[in-house]
Amino acid sequence: MISEPIRTALSEQLNREFSSAYLYLAMSAYCSHADFNGAAHWFRLQYEEEHMHATKVYDYLIEQGVEVPLRPIEQPPGEFGSLLAVFEASLEHEQHMTARLNDLSNQALSEKDHATYNLLQWFVNEQVEEEASVGAIIAKLRLVGEDGYGLLMIDNELGGRAAPAAV
């Protein structure tokens, strides 16, 4: 059985995960509109991955016998300015999510809620990959700058991303 503070914190995390999915769908739409179809594909898959993350939190709460309140999700931005800017926004978002997950992990550990802590460690480890992946894309985008051929090559590479495995 999880404590009320952990229930509340996990419910908030559930909302953050759904918000993340919605943000990535908005990023996909932005890239699609800008004719960066590879990046649109990459962000669409990121949307699907974040949706799976939300479902993982949801399923855990259900398994713990928690009544799950679903909260409103804020409208994400629709304009990002450039391909580099959209990936920089993605990295900033992932860093924010990492901080929140670290806070949640600390809370679970301080309450000696080892089951929740173990769940959260999966997410913490996932964040390492998330930040590294986006950071590598940003490095490539900075390297090519505004070079159209370079942007086209990166966009084509992003289009090759495989769908995330079920969690």
Per-residue pLDDT of the chain (167 residues; tens, 9 = 90+): 799 999 999 999 999 999 999 999 999 999 999 999 999 999 999 999 999 999 999 999 999 999 998 999 999 999 999 999 999 999 999 999 999 999 999 999 999 999 999 999 999 999 999 999 999 999 999 999 999 999 999 999 999 999 877 76
Cβ atoms 47, 73 nearer than 8 A: no
CA distance from start to end of the chain: 23
Domain ranges of the chain: 4-158
pTM given for the model: 0.94
The Cα–Cα gap between 4 and 108 comes to: 12
pLDDT of residue 111: 96
Q: State residue 166's pLDDT score.
A: 73
Residue type at 69?
P
The answer as to CATH 1.20.1260.10 being correct for domain 4-158 is yes
Which pLDDT value is given to residue 164? Answer: 78
Residue 105: CB atoms within 10 Å: 18
